[in-house]
A and B are shown apart, each in its own frame.
Chain A
Amino acid sequence: MKMLKILPFLVCILLVSQVHAQKGEVKMNLQYNYALPIGSFKNDVISNGSARGVTGDILYNLSDKFSLGLGLGFQDFYQKYPRALYKTGDQETTSAVLSNSVQVMPVLAKAEFYPLGGKKSLIQPYINAGAGLGVVSFAQYLGEFGGTDNSASLMLQGGAGIIVPFGSVSKSGFRLGANYNMVSYKRNGFNNFNNIGFQAGLFFPLK
């Protein structure tokens, strides 16, 4: 009931909200990230989604509609498969519990575009893209026997979402979005650690 009473008030505030993405401003995005493996990553390595992720961007506003900067993050994927038989040699069979653990740390140059930048809007949509390195740590164990491979390779990212400012003239607010992460990993018979990320977090100016 209380929620119903304050709803018109909230709507009024949001209707006149405007994200002030002024030229020269530096802002930060901090987001929680949930990631779902896709493709061969899902089929061959880890099928479970990962609820252990965070992203952070530092972006410089080139204009009301466009910003450039650095994107960092961390995502931990893990899955333990029940005991099964694996062919480990011509005439060799191994019964083991298989554990796969993948950590991806993106270091990306990012660009973000706001189609409604500078206009009064309840919700400000955005699209973004990133390119850079995906620092990957991949551990695979049969039982307690295995090892870790660390590497860095090409990572591309594309995403979209919305930002909602806290107030009518606020330079801070909420962000919601999703992105596609292409993480190349062509080693030991694997192809990639591609995944889709879903983010929720905050943005705020740094200066």
Chain B
Amino acid sequence: MKNKQLMIAVFAFCTAVFFGCTKEPMNNLNPEETRIYVTNSDSTVNFGAYKTYSISDSVVVLNNGSAYKDLTTVDQAYIDAVNKYMQQRGYQLVNKNSNPDLGINVNRIYNTATGYFGYSDYWDYYGGYWDPYYWGYGGYDYYVPSSYGIYQITQGAVSIDMLDLKDAGSKDKIDIIWNGLVRGEGIFDSSTADASVKALFDQSTNLQSN
């Protein structure tokens, strides 16, 4: 009988160990591996026809519906990286008053999700955690006001938009002909900006001036 109980205990232990050893994908990614680089490119556009570009001297921060301009060291790192890789692809940086063919905007985007969790479970056993006797009121009950806790999760992204200024006059509109988006851990760090922008350009082989 003891052997059976032992074997069942071993099985239960093994099961617990195996469940515990489940490879959790999020725990097996380093910060670089958490990042995704997304590009959207207008397949009808001949990017070789554009020669010059201009880039905004600050970034727009889109934070849950509000927008403002900012220029942190991280923002500057992204702007510098875009300049570096645009020029590697043969595009010439010009002043925005010099009729550039392309305009480039860099954006920081934050989305915050808000939720709440009740504290009821926490209060239910409060007397067990903190015996009223400790405070000199043995036998008393705690009075717990109804309450709740707020939590917020903020997710961020960096986006880079390429605008067709060359044809804006004839089309009466400014087409966004390319967009790059970076998401994941560590993207708001100036040390990762260059690699992130490089990744966007690496997967956009059509971005090349003739």
B173 proximal to A (CB < 8 A):
no
Q: How far is the CB of A83 from chain B (nearest CB, A)?
A: 7
B36 touching A95, Cβ below 8 Å: yes
A39 proximal to B (CB < 8 A):
no
Chain B's closest residue to A53 (CB) is: B18
B23 touching A97, Cβ below 8 Å: no
Chain A's closest residue to B30 (CB) is: A97
Q: How far is the CB of A156 from chain B (nearest CB, A)?
A: 23
Contact residue among A53, A95, A139, A172 (Cβ-Cβ distance under 8 Å from B25): A139
Chain A residue contacts of B3, Cβ below 8 A = 172, 204
B18 touching A143, Cβ below 8 Å: no
B15 touching A74, Cβ below 8 Å: yes
Q: Which of A61-69, A86-94, A120-128, A177-185 contacts B (4 or more CB under 8 A)?
A: A86-94
Chain A residue contacts of B94, Cβ below 8 A = none
Chain B's closest residue to A105 (CB) is: B19
Interface size on B, residues (CB 8 A): 36
Total inter-chain residue pairs, C-beta < 8 Å: 102
B203 touching A95, Cβ below 8 Å: yes
B42 proximal to A (CB < 8 A):
yes
B34 touching A143, Cβ below 8 Å: yes
Complex CA distance for A91 and B180, rounded to whole angstroms:
12
B36 touching A96, Cβ below 8 Å: yes
Complex CA distance for A47 and B89, rounded to whole angstroms:
38
Within 8 A of A (CB), among B1-37: 3-4, 7-8, 10-11, 14-15, 18-19, 21-26, 28-29, 33-37
Chain A residue contacts of B38, Cβ below 8 A = 88, 92-95
Q: How far is the CB of A10 from chain B (nearest CB, A)?
A: 21
Within 8 A of B (CB), among A116-166: 139, 141-146
Chain B residue contacts of A145, Cβ below 8 A = 36, 183-184
**What bracket does the count of chain A residues touching chain B fall in?**
35 or more
Chain B residue contacts of A139, Cβ below 8 A = 25
B43 proximal to A (CB < 8 A):
yes
Chain A's closest residue to B42 (CB) is: A91
Chain A residue contacts of B43, Cβ below 8 A = 91
A78 proximal to B (CB < 8 A):
yes
A78 touching B41, Cβ below 8 Å: no
A52 proximal to B (CB < 8 A):
yes
| 3 residue pairs, one from A and one from B, having the closest CB atoms | A78-B23, A99-B25, A144-B34
Some 28 contacts from A to B, beta carbons below 8 A apart, are A28-B8, A30-B10, A30-B11, A52-B22, A52-B23, A54-B11, A56-B11, A74-B18, A76-B21, A76-B22, A83-B33, A89-B40, A91-B43, A92-B40, A94-B36, A94-B38, A94-B39, A95-B36, A97-B33, A100-B25, A101-B24, A101-B25, A141-B25, A141-B26, A143-B183, A143-B184, A144-B29, A202-B7
